[in-house]
Amino acid sequence: MTSSRDTMAHLFSCFDTTYLVLGESAPTLTNDAYVVRTYEMARAVGEVALCFREYLGEVSSPPLPALEDVLRRAVESDDSGAMVLFAMAMVVGPRVLVSLLDARSEGTLDESALEVLDLASRVLVREIRAVGDVAQRFAPIEDPNWQERAHSLSTTLDATGNAESFGISR
């Protein structure tokens, strides 16, 4: 069994890793709508990371390797930004939501921690929906190579033990 602090520090790492990669990648993308959405998503998850940091106080938690790898591969495989937004909406975001639910279900978190988890969940759902709003303005990507690269993001996480979530501790 993990401690409440370990759980919150792990979830902080999920958001901090996402903030790091999205913030770094946004200015490198080529589709203006995807650039804006990536910046906005980075800001939103960065605010959540800050809430975790405020709750935890001093926290040093390195990026989660599997999460960072998948997001960086998404950025590198499609400079328009479509792949990284796909990754956030369909691969990473849902797994983080499951981790948040699992942490809540653990039953050891105090009221302040639960408030942070509630905020984190609301922000992720809002950001996932915002990706859908932007994506519907563009034609579906039917390139089989793009789709294979997109699928490989999920299989990478599956292979690292993150098939459904990023867990609630390291």
pLDDT of 90 reads: 97
pLDDT for the residue numbered 1: 45
Closest by CA position to 124, among listed 47, 34, 35, 26: 47
* CATH fold for the domain made of 4-159: Ferritin (1.20.1260)
pLDDT in tens, 59-107: 888 899 999 999 999 999 999 999 999 999 999 999 999 999 999 998 8
What global pTM score does this model have? 0.95
Per-domain residue ranges of the chain = 4-159
| 17-44: pLDDT as tens digits | 999 999 999 999 999 999 999 999 999 9
Give tens-digit pLDDT for 153-167: 999 999 999 999 999
Question: What was the pLDDT predicted at 169?
Answer: 67
Residue 170 has pLDDT above 90, yes or no: no
Comparing CA positions, the residue from 6, 128, 17 lying closest to residue 66 is 17
Cα–Cα separations (whole angstroms), residue 82 to 8, 104, 132? 30, 31, 11
